[in-house]
């Protein structure tokens, strides 16, 4: 019983009733809280853990997934790899070798998606990696690439071209190192070997174009794709060997002749202490010659260049032998004559055009390659022998491939096609030009008579294109001029050359040409001109058009103004060289227009930058005659500050050489520079201001511009510091030139009469002019010279005005303070040189009530003059005058306090002058 | 007047100035207005040659075999032993200003007012056929104003040469490769230049009379240098008041001789840049240089042991020497063979053959030339025809139109 009760206590039944709430249990979980997700986009980085991408896969996982059998996994691994690497670029460096080997391995993957992803990844990698970084892995990459190119499956072959594109874009140099394999691959892509019994007979292996019906694209399209890559590859090869710029037509040959080679710079000190290895190159050149048979191992490139490639003439020859028949086959299929054939009727017109263009481009590049190898003429002859007939037959048959012709064939096509052709029209020209280029390079002067038929056609085409060539762009023109140049070289015949030049000249004369076009034409002409200069035929064979061109240059220079300094520079170069070769036509036209070139206001000289200015100034030397007007504008140019003072000095030096006073070696043409003009040039340069300017200065009044004193009739106009310094440096050069003229006293007389005529009597004179005149007189004066009274007075008042100005100068006035030394020096030496000027100046110091405020200045001036060593003896002779002045001062000062300046003056006077009464005393009592 | 100036002797080393000195014999050559005349030591004229123009420069090869003169735009080359005028080179466009041989006489340099300096190989100049114009080995066209002076260092064809120009630069070149080694820009035009024997320094005389000393081994190496007088005041010789015309350094490299248009010649010590001696002249000094005294200079009565032949005025090989073969050396073995001259018959035959040869030359002289001329003319005819046809068509059209 008890047991039962007990059990009941333990397990009491809870009675649940409808309508009542269920009591809460003791162990119930309280669930009325809310949750929110915490998102951690990025894990805390822990060392030891490799970074992962979105799918939490790290680099090792991804790389291992590349070996997965499923294409989808591989593709996603590649995409993931790209994500990872773009997030964490540092991984690239650490795992480069793995990444590259894995990526390269899937170039040949069966699945196109995987290959696409691999190409994407490669593109990404290529943008991040420098050529040096990838160089060690490049053999691997290129091995995979060539296995892809030679793969049996078409899809892989097609995608391999994309890989090639990327590599060509980013690492052309590395790729060209392995040219031998790649070139063979190219050939194999579009053709197959003809297997024949003859192969065993050691005959040449012949190749023929292959047609594969399984491809997704037409075989012509496919060929086009391959040829585009081949062209790019060859371009890289050509560029790599000679480092020519893109699409060089005209400049290319020029570069060789004009380029400045940098000589080897050897630092023996470093070599002596073994800090630097010595590199020796043959023939004392600065760079190792690539084509030499003895080659030092290249230190730059890691890969060994022992493989054949196209590095020797023989190999190029071999490759040409293989590829050109193929190209000709391509051409035949694409050429307009074949369009009627049913097989190719469905080809798109632009496509075949492009194909033709690629074919020609490739041939052109191959020609360039052959030219780079030595024994050039041998190669040329070889090419001519082998291919001229073929080329004539296929390429030249329909030669000017024109827009009209294609339209005629495609008339049935829709209007839309027609429009497309219009847009392609420009390519026709380029196509024709490349063809011309190729054909012309096959001919030479010795074979002219054999080739005259097709050369004439080319010539006519070139002439016609040039004559209506207003819409040529610079690239086309460049090629066109290249062809023209070559034609002119081939045909020594004067008449033919003249027609060509004339055609270019008509183009040149058109008005609204673009600057690059104009520059090209100019370059062409100057090159033709240089060649003519060098030719030994002499005067008889001068081209008339060329001399017309030459004579037009100065006018063109003037018209160009400051619009295009670069072009002007080129013009000046040509003019300069022609002038130095004393070409009559040019000199005449230059002489005619010279006043506009050297116009001080808007002439070419003042508009152009400094380097061109220098050339223009040097051109003055070559002018046949220097008329008065030219000299006056030159002098204005000198003093107006548009030229630097060094350049002005150069100009004065050149004029000095041209003058009859230089006596340098043998005389220049008599009478070309008039002596009178020469002197007036110097005088106006010395004055530094034109007469009109001086006149307008006379009316200026007032403190900031004018320094004025009561005791001198000359007021000074204060010039800007820049102008002053410029004027001063020019003055020094002028003074030197004047001082080298043999008859000093006559020269001085001329200067004196100039000063008396133009400057004496002016009320306002610029301070720089006054200083310059003092300086010039100091330089030129000697015993034989006699100064007129007028000049003495003028000089005395100038001196006083200048000295007064210098002594009243504010110490803070930074602008004028720099003038002090030069002006002070020239004043003092003037006074020392001409005692009479000193005397006149002292006499003019008649102190009166009017100038009471000037008294301290006068006193200071006197004190300084007395103290000055050079002047002391002269001051002693003028002692009475000085005494008088001091007395006058005392009388004016009576009744006021003795001031410091007066005591100083008294002291000096007593020390230096009063102690030796009368006459020049000995100098031993100076201190 | 001009005749006087070209040769002023300097007297500083007492000895010789003048335009050129022939080795061995010790004659001076003096050139005046259009004359080229080699006097002996005591100023007696040995020979006087009237030249076609003003002789602006003159030099003799160091081995004494050839003489070069610059007359107007051409260079004249004489052989000293025979007096033949071997070549006239016309490659300059304006008057010559200076000529200079390399020390082994294998090359010579010429500078002119057309801003060009040319390097010639003497032997290729001599070997070239008379119809062709010989080409210089290098053309240096980097100067922009006339070349005023040239100077060639030691080492034959491997030497370096300096050119001075009015464009205020001095340029140093390598003769073997023709490359520009150094260009120094000054404040004034440069009229004279010389190198010291060790080629440590370059001395450049300016138009304003100062002589600048440029260190060639200065550090750091610069291809384009700027020589500013203020900054490098220790490197200037000051004293001349007018343009310096000539400079010469003594063989031990311690003394510098300079002549100037201020009518003085000055001798400087290079180390201290002091003027040791000043010699005044009456007239501008145009040339002065230091030479080792020749052996017989101090004997006033000594005669040159090889008499100078008469220098010919016409180009050798064009006038009458066809029969002699033109090329090759004429050997004369002893005097006794001279007596047996050619007989009249032989002489007649020679004259005949000479006439024939010239006629043949005129007839079929140059087949190539003829061919070119023919094609030229044919081309011209063709163009004329075309023009004529155009003219005809045009006028026909015009006439018919007007008829309507």
pLDDT-based confidence at A209, cuts 50/70/90?
low
Q: How many CB atoms are located within 10 Å of the residue A577 CB? A: 21
Average pLDDT over residues A448-461: 72
Which residues touch A693 (CB under 8 Å, ≥6 apart)?
Answer: none
- DSSP β-bridge partners for residue B138: B119
Q: Are B270 and B253 in contact (CB under 8 A)?
A: yes
The pLDDT score that the predictor gives to residue B381 is: 93
- Is position B105 within any domain? yes
Average pLDDT over residues A61-68: 80
Looking at residue B89, which CATH number applies to its domain?
2.130.10.10
Q: Has residue B336 got a pLDDT over 70?
A: no
Least confident of A82-86, A285-289, A739-743, A799-803: A285-289
Read off φ and ψ for residue A761, nearest 5 degrees: 105, -15
Q: Are A688 and A766 in contact (CB under 8 A)?
A: yes
Q: Which residue from B54, B115, B242 is facing A666, i.e. has the nearest CB?
A: B54
Read off φ and ψ for residue B177, nearest 5 degrees: -100, -15
Q: Which residues span the domain enclosing B275?
A: 2-8+50-298
- For residues A703 and B292, the model is more confident at B292
Between CA A824 and CA A325 the distance in angstroms is: 89
- Looking at every residue in chain A, the average pLDDT score rounds to 73
Q: Which residue from B133, B145, B167 is facing A536, i.e. has the nearest CB?
A: B133
Q: Has residue A54 got a pLDDT over 90?
A: no
The pLDDT score that the predictor gives to residue B388 is: 94
Q: Has residue A10 got a pLDDT over 80?
A: no
Between CA A676 and CA B289 the distance in angstroms is: 37
Q: Has residue B76 got a pLDDT over 80?
A: yes
- Is position B239 within any domain? yes
Calculate what percentage of chain A has a pLDDT beyond 70: 71
Least confident of A334-343, B227-236, B389-398: A334-343
Distance in Å, alpha carbon of B132 to nearest chain A alpha carbon: 8
User: Do residue A740 and residue B132 have CB atoms under 8 angstroms apart?
Assistant: no
The pLDDT score that the predictor gives to residue A390 is: 72
The DSSP bridge pattern shows strands B180-185 and B224-226 to be parallel
Query: Quick check: helix, strand or coil at residue A644?
Result: coil
Between CA A128 and CA A134 the distance in angstroms is: 10
CA-CA distances (angstroms) from residue A93 to A89, A97, A141, A734, B184? 8, 9, 17, 68, 49
**How many residues does the structure list for chain B?**
404
Query: Does A40 reach chain B within 8 Å, measured CB to CB?
Result: no
CA-CA distances (angstroms) from residue B77 to A212, B114, B221, B315? 75, 20, 39, 9
Q: Are B60 and B67 in contact (CB under 8 A)?
A: yes
Q: Are A142 and A203 in contact (CB under 8 A)?
A: no
The pLDDT score that the predictor gives to residue B163 is: 94
The DSSP bridge pattern shows strands A764-766 and A715-717 to be parallel
* DSSP string over A696-730: HHHT--STTTEE--TT-S-EEEPPPHHHHHHHHHH
* DSSP string over A653-668: HHHHHHSTT---SS--
Q: Has residue B29 got a pLDDT over 70?
A: no
Q: Which residue from A261, A618, A663 is facing B167, i.e. has the nearest CB?
A: A618
Q: Has residue A18 got a pLDDT over 50?
A: yes
Q: How many domains does chain B have?
A: 1
User: Which B residues, 73 through 112, put their C-beta within 8 Å of a C-beta on chain A?
Assistant: 93-95, 97
Side-by-side strand order, sheet with B147-152 = B147-152, B160-165, B169-174, B180-185, B224-226
DSSP A518: H
Q: Are B247 and B203 in contact (CB under 8 A)?
A: yes
- Is position B343 within any domain? no
How many beta-carbon pairs below 8 A join chains A and B? 91
Q: Has residue B294 got a pLDDT over 60?
A: yes
- Is position B161 within any domain? yes
pLDDT tens, position by position, A787-823: 888 888 888 888 888 888 888 877 666 677 778 888 8
The pLDDT score that the predictor gives to residue A348 is: 45
Query: Does A653 reach chain B within 8 Å, measured CB to CB?
Result: yes
Q: Provide the CA A733 distance to its chain's centre, in angstroms.
A: 34
pLDDT-based confidence at A325, cuts 50/70/90?
confident
Q: With beta carbons under 8 A apart, name residues in chain B contacting A257.
A: none
Which residues touch B176 (CB under 8 Å, ≥6 apart)?
Answer: A284, B157, B158
Between CA A887 and CA B361 the distance in angstroms is: 104
In degrees, to the nearest 5, what angle opens at C-alpha A382 toward C-alphas A381 and A384?
65
- For residues B375 and A811, the model is more confident at B375
Q: Has residue B108 got a pLDDT over 90?
A: yes
- Is position B391 within any domain? no
Half-sphere exposure of A47 (CA within 13 A, CB side): 0
Query: Does B375 reach chain A within 8 Å, measured CB to CB?
Result: yes
Which residues touch B113 (CB under 8 Å, ≥6 apart)?
Answer: A580, B94, B95, B96, B97, B146, B147
Least confident of A148-162, A397-411, A482-496, B85-99: A397-411
DSSP collapsed to 3 states, A93-131: HHHHHHHHHHHHHHHHCCCHHHHHHHHHHHHHHHHHCCH
Q: Cα-Cα-Cα-Cα dihedral of A725, A731, A737, A741, to 10°?
A: -160
Read off φ and ψ for residue A887, nearest 5 degrees: -60, -45
User: Do residue A646 and residue B56 have CB atoms under 8 angstroms apart?
Assistant: no
Q: How many CB atoms are located within 10 Å of the residue B295 CB? A: 10
Q: Cα-Cα-Cα-Cα dihedral of A357, A361, A362, A364, to 10°?
A: 140
Longest CA–CA separation in chain A, Å: 168
Between CA A684 and CA A679 the distance in angstroms is: 9
Query: Quick check: helix, strand or coil at residue B25?
Result: coil
Q: Has residue A678 got a pLDDT over 60?
A: yes
The pLDDT score that the predictor gives to residue B391 is: 92
Between CA B66 and CA A449 the distance in angstroms is: 46
Query: Does B224 reach chain A within 8 Å, measured CB to CB?
Result: no
Between CA A841 and CA A848 the distance in angstroms is: 16
The pLDDT score that the predictor gives to residue A53 is: 66
Q: With beta carbons under 8 A apart, name residues in chain B contacting A493.
A: 372, 375-376, 379
Q: Are A518 and A481 in contact (CB under 8 A)?
A: no
The pLDDT score that the predictor gives to residue A396 is: 66
Between CA A84 and CA B268 the distance in angstroms is: 78
DSSP B296: G
Between CA A718 and CA A724 the distance in angstroms is: 9
Q: How many CB atoms are located within 10 Å of the residue B180 CB? A: 19
Between CA B66 and CA B75 the distance in angstroms is: 12
- Looking at every residue in chain B, the average pLDDT score rounds to 76
Of A665, A735, A737, A740, which to mutate for an interface test with B (greatest number of B Cβ within 10 Å)?
A: A665
Q: Provide the CA A647 distance to its chain's centre, in angstroms.
A: 23
- Is position B246 within any domain? yes
Q: Are B80 and B58 in contact (CB under 8 A)?
A: no
User: Which A residues, 657 through 686, put their C-beta within 8 Å of a C-beta on chain B?
Assistant: 657, 662-666
Side-by-side strand order, sheet with B190-195 = B190-195, B201-206, B211-215, B236-237
Between CA A118 and CA A109 the distance in angstroms is: 9
Chain B, nearest residue to A576 by Cα: B144
Chain B, nearest residue to A264 by Cα: B181
E strands present in B251-394 = 255-260, 264-269, 274-280
pLDDT tens, position by position, A894-907: 555 667 777 788 88
Query: Quick check: helix, strand or coil at residue B117?
Result: strand
Of B6, B110, B175, B208, which to mutate for an interface test with A (greatest number of A Cβ within 10 Å)?
A: B208
Q: Helix axis angle, A219-242 relative to A349-372, nearest 10°?
A: 30
- For residues A334 and A560, the model is more confident at A560
Helices (DSSP H) in B128-280: which residue ranges? none
pLDDT-based confidence at A280, cuts 50/70/90?
low
Average pLDDT over residues A192-197: 55
The pLDDT score that the predictor gives to residue A205 is: 54
- Is position B339 within any domain? no
Side-by-side strand order, sheet with B74-79 = B55-60, B66-71, B74-79, B85-89
| H or E segment and range at residue A439 | helix A415-442
The pLDDT score that the predictor gives to residue B364 is: 56
Q: Has residue A586 got a pLDDT over 50?
A: yes
The DSSP bridge pattern shows strands A764-766 and A706-707 to be unpaired
Between CA B79 and CA B64 the distance in angstroms is: 9
Average pLDDT over residues A633-640: 85
Side-by-side strand order, sheet with B35-37 = B20-21, B28-32, B35-37, B49-50
The DSSP bridge pattern shows strands B211-215 and B190-195 to be unpaired
Question: Cis link prior to B220 (omega < 30° from 0)?
Answer: yes
Average pLDDT over residues B201-225: 85
pLDDT tens, position by position, A432-445: 777 777 777 777 66
Identify the top-confidence range among A328-342, A439-453, A871-885, B293-307.
A871-885
DSSP B93: S
Between CA A125 and CA A85 the distance in angstroms is: 9
Query: Quick check: helix, strand or coil at residue B238?
Result: coil
- For residues B316 and A404, the model is more confident at B316
- Is position B180 within any domain? yes
Average pLDDT over residues A271-286: 62
- For residues A777 and A673, the model is more confident at A777
Q: Has residue A297 got a pLDDT over 60?
A: no
The pLDDT score that the predictor gives to residue A188 is: 74
Q: Provide the CA A580 distance to its chain's centre, in angstroms.
A: 25
* DSSP string over A779-799: HH--TT----HHHHHHHHHHH
Least confident of A348-357, A716-725, A874-883, B76-85: A348-357
Q: Are A649 and B208 in contact (CB under 8 A)?
A: no
Question: What sign does the CA torsion over B182, B183, B185, B189 have?
Answer: positive
Q: Has residue A688 got a pLDDT over 70?
A: yes
pTM of the predicted protein model? 0.68
Q: Are A557 and A604 in contact (CB under 8 A)?
A: yes
């Amino acid at each position: 019983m008890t047991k039962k009760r007990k059990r009941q206590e333990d397990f009491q039944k809870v009675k649940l009733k409808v309508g009542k709430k269920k009591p809460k249990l003791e162990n119930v979980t309280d669930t009325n809280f809310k949750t929110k997700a915490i998102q951690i986009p990025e894990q805390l980085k822990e060392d030891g853990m490799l970074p992962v991408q979105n799918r939490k896969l790290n680099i090792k996982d991804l790389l291992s997934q590349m070996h997965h059998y499923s294409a989808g996994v591989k593709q996603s691994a590649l995409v993931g790899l790209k994500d990872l690497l773009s997030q964490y670029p540092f991984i690239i460096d650490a795992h480069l070798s793995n990444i590259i080997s894995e990526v390269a391995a899937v170039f040949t993957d069966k699945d196109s998606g995987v290959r696409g992803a691999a190409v994407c990844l490669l593109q990404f990698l290529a943008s991040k990696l420098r050529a040096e970084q990838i160089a060690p892995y490049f053999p691997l990459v290129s091995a995979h690439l060539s296995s892809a190119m030679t793969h049996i499956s078409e899809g892989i072959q097609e995608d391999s071209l994309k890989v090639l594109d990327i590599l060509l874009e980013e690492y052309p140099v590395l790729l060209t190192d392995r040219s031998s394999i790649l070139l063979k691959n190219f050939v194999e892509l579009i053709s197959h070997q003809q297997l024949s019994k003859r192969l065993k007979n050691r005959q040449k292996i012949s190749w023929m174009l292959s047609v594969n019906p399984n491809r997704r694209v037409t075989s012509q399209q496919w060929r086009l794709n391959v040829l585009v890559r081949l062209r790019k590859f060859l371009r890289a090869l050509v560029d790599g060997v000679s480092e020519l710029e893109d699409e060089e037509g005209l400049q290319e040959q020029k570069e060789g002749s004009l380029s400045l080679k940098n000589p080897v710079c050897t630092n023996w000190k470093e070599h002596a202490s073994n800090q630097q290895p010595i590199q020796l190159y043959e023939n004392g050149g600065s760079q190792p010659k690539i084509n030499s048979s003895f080659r030092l191992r290249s230190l730059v490139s890691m890969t060994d260049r022992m493989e054949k490639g196209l590095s020797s003439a023989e190999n190029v020859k071999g490759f040409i032998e293989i590829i050109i028949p193929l190209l000709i086959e391509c051409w035949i299929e694409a050429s307009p004559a074949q369009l009627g054939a049913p097989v190719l009727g469905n080809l798109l017109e632009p496509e075949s055009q492009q194909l033709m263009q690629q074919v020609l481009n490739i041939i052109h590049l191959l020609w360039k390659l052959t030219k780079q190898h030595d024994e050039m003429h041998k190669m040329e002859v070889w090419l001519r022998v082998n291919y001229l007939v073929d080329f004539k037959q296929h390429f030249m048959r329909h030669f000017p491939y024109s827009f009209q012709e294609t339209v005629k064939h495609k008339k049935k096509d829709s209007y839309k096609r027609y429009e497309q052709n219009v847009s392609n029209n420009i390519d026709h020209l380029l196509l024709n030009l490349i063809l011309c280029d190729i054909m012309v390079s096959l001919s030479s002067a010795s074979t002219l008579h054999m080739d005259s038929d097709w050369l004439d056609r080319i010539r006519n085409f070139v002439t016609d294109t040039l004559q209506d060539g207003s819409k040529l762009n610079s690239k086309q023109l460049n090629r066109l001029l290249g062809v023209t140049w070559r034609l002119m070289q081939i045909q020594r015949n004067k008449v033919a050359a003249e027609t060509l030049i004339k055609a270019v000249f008509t183009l040149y004369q058109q008005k609204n040409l673009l600057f690059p076009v104009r520059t090209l034409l100019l370059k062409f002409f100057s090159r033709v001109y240089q060649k003519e200069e060098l030719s030994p035929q002499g005067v008889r064979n001068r081209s008339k058009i060329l001399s017309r061109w030459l004579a037009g240059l100065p006018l063109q220079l003037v018209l160009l103004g400051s619009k295009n300094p670069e072009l002007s520079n080129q013009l000046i170069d040509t003019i300069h060289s022609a002038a130095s070769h004393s070409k009559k036509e040019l000199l005449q036209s230059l002489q005619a227009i010279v006043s506009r070139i050297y116009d001080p206001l808007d002439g070419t000289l003042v508009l152009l930058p400094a380097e061109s200015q220098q050339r223009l100034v040097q051109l003055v030397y070559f002018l046949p005659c220097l008329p008065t007007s030219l000299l006056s504008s030159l002098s204005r140019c000198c003093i107006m500050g548009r030229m630097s003072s060094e350049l002005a000095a150069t100009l004065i030096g050149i004029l000095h050489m041209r003058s009859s006073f230089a006596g340098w070696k043998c005389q220049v043409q008599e009478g070309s520079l008039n002596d009178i003009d020469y002197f007036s040039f110097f005088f106006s340069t010395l004055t530094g201001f034109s007469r009109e300017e001086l006149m307008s200065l006379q009316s200026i009044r007032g403190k900031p511009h004018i320094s004025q004193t009561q005791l001198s009739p000359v007021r000074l106009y204060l010039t800007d510091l820049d102008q002053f310094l410029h004027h001063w440096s020019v003055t020094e050069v002028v003074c030197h030139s004047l001082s080298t003229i043999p008859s000093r006293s006559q020269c001085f007389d001329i200067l004196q009469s100039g000063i008396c005529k133009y400057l004496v009597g002016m009320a306002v004179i610029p301070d720089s002019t006054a200083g310059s005149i003092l300086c010039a007189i100091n330089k030129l004066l000697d015993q034989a010279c006699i100064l007129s009274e007028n000049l003495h007075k003028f000089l005395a008042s100038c001196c006083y005005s200048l000295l007064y100005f210098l002594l009243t100068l504010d110490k803070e006035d930074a602008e004028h303070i720099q003038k002090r030394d030069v002006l002070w020096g020239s004043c003092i030496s003037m006074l020392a040189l001409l005692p009479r000027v000193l005397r006149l100046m002292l006499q003019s110091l008649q102190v009166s009530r009017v100038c009471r405020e000037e008294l301290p200045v006068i006193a200071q001036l006197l004190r300084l003059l007395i103290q000055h060593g050079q002047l002391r003896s002269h001051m002693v002779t003028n002692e009475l005058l000085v005494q008088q002045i001091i007395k006058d001062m005392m009388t004016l000062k009576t009744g006021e306090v003795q001031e410091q300046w007066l005591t100083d003056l008294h002291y000096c006077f007593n020390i230096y002058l009063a102690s030796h009464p009368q006459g020049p005393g000995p100098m031993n009592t100076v201190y | 007047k001009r005749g006087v100036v070209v040769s002023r002797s300097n007297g500083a080393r007492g000895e010789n100035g003048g335009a050129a000195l022939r080795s061995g014999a010790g004659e001076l050559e003096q050139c005046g207005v259009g004359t080229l005349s080699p006097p002996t030591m005591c100023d007696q004229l040995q020979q006087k040659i009237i030249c076609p123009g003003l002789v602006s420069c003159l030099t003799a090869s160091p081995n004494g075999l050839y003489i070069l003169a610059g007359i107007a735009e051409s260079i004249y080359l004489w052989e000293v032993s025979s007096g033949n005028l071997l070549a006239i080179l016309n490659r300059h466009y304006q008057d010559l200003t200076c000529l200079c041989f390399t020390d082994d006489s294998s090359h010579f340099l010429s500078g002119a007012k057309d801003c060009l300096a040319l390097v010639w190989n003497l032997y290729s100049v001599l070997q070239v056929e008379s119809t062709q114009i010989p080409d210089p080995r290098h053309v240096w066209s980097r100067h922009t104003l006339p070349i005023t002076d040239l100077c060639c260092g030691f080492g034959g064809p491997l030497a370096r040469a300096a050119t001075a120009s009015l464009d205020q630069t001095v340029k140093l070149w390598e003769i073997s490769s023709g490359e520009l080694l150094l260009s120094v820009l000054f404040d004034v035009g440069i009229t004279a230049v010389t190198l010291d024997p060790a080629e440590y320094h370059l001395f450049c005389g300016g138009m304003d009379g100062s002589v600048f000393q440029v260190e060639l081994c200065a550090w750091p190496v610069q291809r384009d240098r700027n020589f500013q007088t203020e900054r490098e005041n220790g490197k200037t010789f000051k004293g001349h008041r007018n343009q310096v015309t000539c400079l010469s350094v003594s063989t031990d490299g311690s003394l510098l001789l300079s002549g100037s248009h201020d009518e003085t010649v000055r001798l400087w010590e290079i180390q201290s840049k002091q003027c040791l001696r000043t010699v005044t002249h009456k007239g501008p000094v145009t040339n002065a240089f230091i030479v080792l005294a020749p052996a017989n200079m101090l004997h006033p009565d000594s005669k040159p042991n090889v008499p100078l032949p008469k220098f010919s005025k016409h180009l050798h090989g064009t006038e009458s020497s066809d029969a002699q073969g033109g090329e090759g050396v004429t050997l004369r073995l002893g005097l006794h063979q001279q007596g047996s001259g050619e007989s009249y018959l032989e002489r007649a035959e020679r004259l005949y053959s000479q006439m024939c040869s010239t006629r043949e030359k005129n007839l079929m002289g140059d087949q190539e030339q003829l061919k070119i001329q023919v094609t030229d003319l044919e081309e011209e005819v063709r163009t004329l025809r075309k023009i004529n046809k155009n003219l005809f068509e045009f006028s026909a059209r015009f006439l018919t139109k007007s008829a309507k």
